[in-house]
Chains A and B, each alone.
Chain A
Amino acid sequence: MGYEALDFYEVDSLLSDEERMVRDMVRDWVDEEVIPKIENACREGVFPDEWRVALGEMGVLGAPLKGYECPGLSYTAYGVICRELERGDSGLRSFASVQGSLAMYPIWDFGSEEQKNYYLPKMASGEWIGCFGLTEPDYGSNPGDMITKAEEVGDNYILNGAKMWITNGTIADLAIVWAKLDGVIRGFIVEKNDPGFSAPEMKGKHSLKASVTSELVFQDCKIPKNRILPGVKGLRGPFSCLNNARFGISWGAVGAAQACFHSAKDYAMSRIQFDHPIASYQLVQNKLSWMLREITKAQLLAYHLGQKKDSGDWIPEHISLAKMNNVDIALEIARVARDIHGANGILDEYPVMRHMANLESVKTYEGTHDIHNLILGRYITGIQSFTRGI
């Protein structure tokens, strides 16, 4: 049976024709090329290279960026793309988020004209993969205290330090690396063959198994001077990127939740216990109607946030709320869907446990659930509670 996306309030009827066409294009591709292959990709722990090629051919990478052969779509369209990709798998959406929001976006916003002309067309076409190095082994929620350093030596910068939890790292052609130059956080473009740079893959994940996660290691890594991003200093740089990626995640989580709902509903309708489909029992109906309620609310949040992003009338706290809420409910929906599937729910014949395990990462990365609460707490009270003098 074909995939019918739950859209109880017909929120998608608010999309433009163009946004709906992009949705259908990505949805059809996910149906035909991702769903049949995702379980195998997870078992083998690989991101199929053909997906990189297809995303480039469809022209969805860096969706909302304009010029430099980038797609030039709306932020709402970018959200729709994330939602449809994550309906397939969070790892696939992570690939697109990192490429578009974390690697292309900083070059587009903070890069020199030469950098934009050189890198962006190659990245929009998928020829070059990018990654984003901010988090370090000892600095996750607190990136401001990072220890990775850059030094100016003659015509070069020399980088030293290590980054961790880097999506696409090992397969990337370039990394946007945030490091301190004279104590100030700056962005640098490091290419895969630069001397002193390596990106070993992190193994053993129970989550995002079809996505490559790596460390980035810089040992006297030497890069030419023209690889610094001239347009930004301080945490504003990486945080601007994260705002866009988190925006995409708030839509993506809806896709994962829709996939879990779809599977749970189908299963409940066909699974017979005590002579009747389990969908006919009140406990199961209660679960399904709760899913419908939460998905509908999440869709409205994502759509309205998309409109705000497109009009420019938004603040980072708006994004925090949507990312936090939508991933939270998606994870809970995945867990309840797994429950409805009974023992079958643990098999990879059904997508629910895969989504559930993926969403544990999505809840943690790009600002943990709790950190987003603290961002909102600071917004409400004006008092930051991230740190205190001890």
Chain B
Amino acid sequence: MNIAVLLKQVPDTTAKINVSNGKVDENSVSKWSMSPYDEYALESGLQMKEATGGVLIAIACGPERNKKMLTDAAAVGADTLIHISVDGILDSIQVQNFLAAVIKNNEVDVVLCGKQAADTNAGSTGPGVAEILDAACVTMVSEVSFIENKFISVRPSISGTEKVSTNGLSVFTFDKGVSELRRPNVRGIMMAKKKVIETIKPENLGLEGSDSERVLLKAQNSPPEKEPGQIFEGVGEIPTIISKLRNEANVI
């Protein structure tokens, strides 16, 4: 079974984000990491690979720095590493088209990715790729297994959780998974070092027209600064506090 895991590299959740001239300054990001929901997709992919004896294909789309993330994926067990080499900002539809084209070229049986990326939070990649591939799509899953030629996934439902069964090519987008994420080890790191990363330029994907920009990012802004807190001292202030909680904060 060929298992594709779509990985996005995002600023680490601890990294400081600077905005200058209406744009996030990517050069100032001190640390780039695999998007956390993608990590759960990767873990689930590794488990499926071990259960089925399959091949795990890690695919990332973005600038050169993505290679490090792909090598990190190899250190925990990804077999094939594919880097779609792109500089600059892409719109979601372009990314989906590139990813779908690579998936088609690799005879993939199942696609796993995070439910949304930690930077844009758009949540469009999984469903978008599924649409282009005409594949089944189950979102926000916590686990997926392959049983008797069907994919069985678990996702939240109105009653708690639900199990969904899908046939044929299926795309799953991951929420926080149930399994603990595995750590790399020295053996994995030494194997990963020897892995060749297949680099693909979008123009070689044989797409027509779909790489034109349809969505334009106009401006990015920092979140508004938080207003300073208020400090009250002494028992005499209690009526003021109650009044503020009731009338301004609307919490009591």
Contacts and interface: CB of A to CB of B under 8 A. Distances in A.
B71 A58 contact: no
Interface stretch (B104-112, B143-151, B182-190): B182-190
Contact of A59 (B14, B30, B185, B193): B185
A21 interface: yes
B116 to A, nearest CB: 22
A60 interface: yes
A17 B14 CA distance: 22
Contact of A71 (B72, B186, B193): B186
B46 interface: no
A29 B184 CA distance: 10
A1 interface: yes
Interface in B26-67: 30
A18 interface: yes
B30 A58 contact: no
Contacts of B72: 21
B81 interface: no
Interface in B191-221: 192-193
A71 B185 CA distance: 10
Interface residues of A, number: 18
Nearest to B192: A21
Interface string A16-28: 0110011001001
A60 B186 CA distance: 7
A382 interface: no
A181 interface: no
A198 to B, nearest CB: 35
B183 A57 contact: yes
Contact of A28 (B183, B190, B193): B183
A21 B30 contact: no
Given A21-B184, A57-B183, A1 B14 contact: yes
B186 A4 contact: no
Contacts of B14: 1-2
Given A1-B14, A4-B30, A21 B183 contact: no
Contacts of A58: 183-186
Contacts of B4: none
A72 interface: yes
B100 interface: no
Interface string B5-32: 0000000101000000000000000100
A73 interface: yes
B75 interface: yes
A57 B183 CA distance: 9
Nearest to B182: A57
A102 B142 CA distance: 45
Nearest to A33: B183
A22 B71 contact: no
Nearest to B15: A2
Contacts of B75: 21, 25
Interface in A78-123: none
Contacts of B68: 17
Interface in A339-358: none
Interface in A1-51: 1-2, 4, 17-18, 21-22, 25, 28-29
Contacts of A59: 185-187
Given A1-B14, A58-B183, A17 B71 contact: yes
Max count, chain A CB within 10 A of own CB: residue among B12, B30, B184, B186: B186
B27 to A, nearest CB: 15
A29 B75 CA distance: 15
Contacts of B30: 4
A22 B186 CA distance: 7
A18 B190 contact: yes
Instruction: Find the residue from B14, B184, B187 having the highest chain A CB count within 10 A.
Output: B184
Contacts of A60: 186
B14 to A, nearest CB: 4
B190 A25 contact: no
B186 A17 contact: no
Interface string B167-187: 000000000000000011111
Given A1-B14, A2-B14, A21-B192, A57 B185 contact: yes
Contacts of A22: 186, 189
Contacts of B183: 25, 28-29, 57-58
Given A1-B14, A58-B185, 15 more contacts: A2-B14, A18-B189, A21-B71, A21-B72, A21-B184, A21-B192, A21-B193, A22-B186, A25-B75, A25-B183, A25-B185, A58-B183, A58-B186, A71-B186, A72-B190
Interface of A: 1-2, 4, 17-18, 21-22, 25, 28-29, 57-60, 63, 71-73
13 contacts: A17-B68, A18-B190, A21-B75, A22-B189, A25-B75, A25-B184, A25-B185, A25-B189, A28-B183, A29-B183, A57-B185, A59-B187, A60-B186
